[in-house]
Amino acid sequence: MTRNAEGATVVAASVLAGFGVTLVNFAREQSVDAQTALTFLVFLIAFGGLHLAVRTWAPRATPLLIAPITALTALGFIEIYRLDPVKAGLQRWWMLIAAGAAVAVLALFARSSTTILRRYRNITLLVSLILLVLPNLPTDWGFPLKGLVVNGSRLWIVLDIGFTTLQFQPAELAKLGFVIYLAAYLADHQKALREARRHLGPIPFPEPRQLIPLVLTWLVSILILVSQRDLGASLLLFAGFVLLLYAATGTSGYLVAGGFMAAAGGVASYFMFDHVQRRVIAWLAPFQHYDDEGYQIAQGLFGMGTGSLSGAGPGLGRPDLIPNASTDFIFAAVGEELGFAGTVSVLALFSLVIAVGLGISFRSRDMFRKLLAAGLTFVFAVQTLLIIGGVVRVVPLTGITLPFMSYGGSALVGNLILIALLLRISHEEAT
């Protein structure tokens, strides 16, 4: 695939978004309005702009990333628009902001290299930790940057810039920061960590001192869990980090130990938090607890089952019956209106993004870039697997968003920066 084909695919995916919006409008009003053109243009500006930025600042980057993420964003956007046109309008603004952020990342590294991140790893860690605790700022003080409580959890900050307020989830950026820090740390200490001096039964085990990063990430995950009651984000970071640790060292002991620690954390949180218990109940028996815990999962399954092979059609199903359809359950909404065809397409597109991300890691010669590409892709993959797995009842629901598809600006910004970093690494490693 060439750069020109990438451009053509971006245009095609923008047409898809516009066409989807037209179908939704047609199902609702039997009329076509400016939303079609507006959606098409915003997609073209956001993703076309990213495409042009890659042409300018990362011309040797893989052409296989922007195409699938544009298509995923388009499919998600059609459902967001179908569920709530007002949210869709906001999401369009966020698309422009996120693409702007991604373009800025590409421009920032145009003259240097992503390897400078390795030098600033400690600062990155510090900034990330600050971002993580930022939502714990007072919600009512005079300073323009405040914390915000949404649905009982402190995930948000509000920036009051006079004429309007911006709401943001800093954890979405902190997630990237932690990956950068861990990739840099592991690139530096890789050899020492790989030396397995001890054995636990048949499993080789490193020096206890070398376990510090693992313990540290575990503690960070617990911090997230306790401070924000967000099991999903916590599990996501921890799983991503353990996988990266394993990738860096090849020591399967990390996977085993990490698995035990995650299990311990999971069991403890089951007994500590009733919302975790409710999610386990909903996972095990959604139909028996239909009127209570299981309602959301059951409605998601009803939606996907009713959508069946070809789906109801955009605007013709009832994904609005599923609570949080535009965020956690966007996959079920796609399944209801676009059917099995839609869900399989989504799974294929995510698989492509992940395969390309891991491919970048494979081909990287520089250890930091190799680990950074792997770490970013792992976090992306684990997030995708956890939330889709939750919706289709393979694992308990964790309440995290589906990258590029769910409604939410912060996640879109974080994920497009993640893609920009992968693009940049692929450019730097291309020969």
Rounded to 5 degrees, φ, ψ at 147 are -80, 165
Residue closer to other proteins (CB basis): 134 or 422 = 422
- CB neighbour list of residue 410: distance below 8 Å, 6 or more residues apart: 168, 169, 170, 171, 172, 173
CA pair distance 51, 103, nearest whole angstrom: 9
The distance of closest approach from Cβ of residue 424 to other proteins in the complex, given in angstroms and rounded to an integer, is 19
Residue closer to other proteins (CB basis): 13 or 297 = 297
Residues at the site binding other proteins, with contacts judged by CB under 8 A: 23, 26-27, 30, 243, 246-250, 287, 290, 298, 301-310, 312-313, 316-318, 321, 335, 339-340, 343-344, 347, 350-351, 354-355, 358, 361-362, 367, 370, 374, 378, 381, 385, 388-389, 392-394
The distance of closest approach from Cβ of residue 152 to other proteins in the complex, given in angstroms and rounded to an integer, is 28
Residue closer to other proteins (CB basis): 48 or 240 = 240
The distance of closest approach from Cβ of residue 188 to other proteins in the complex, given in angstroms and rounded to an integer, is 15
Residue closer to other proteins (CB basis): 32 or 150 = 32
The distance of closest approach from Cβ of residue 300 to other proteins in the complex, given in angstroms and rounded to an integer, is 9
Measure Cα distances from 57 to 52, 61, 112, 382, 428 in Å: 9, 9, 11, 29, 11
Question: Which pair of structure tokens corresponds to residue 358?
Answer: 């891991």
The distance of closest approach from Cβ of residue 361 to other proteins in the complex, given in angstroms and rounded to an integer, is 6
Residue closer to other proteins (CB basis): 106 or 421 = 421
Neighbour count for residue 144 (Cβ, 10 Å): 11
Amino acid at 127: V
The distance of closest approach from Cβ of residue 302 to other proteins in the complex, given in angstroms and rounded to an integer, is 4
Residue closer to other proteins (CB basis): 229 or 369 = 369
CA pair distance 322, 405, nearest whole angstrom: 16
What is residue 143's three-state secondary structure? coil
Rounded to 5 degrees, φ, ψ at 170 are -65, -20
Give Cα 260 to chain centroid, integer Å. Answer: 25
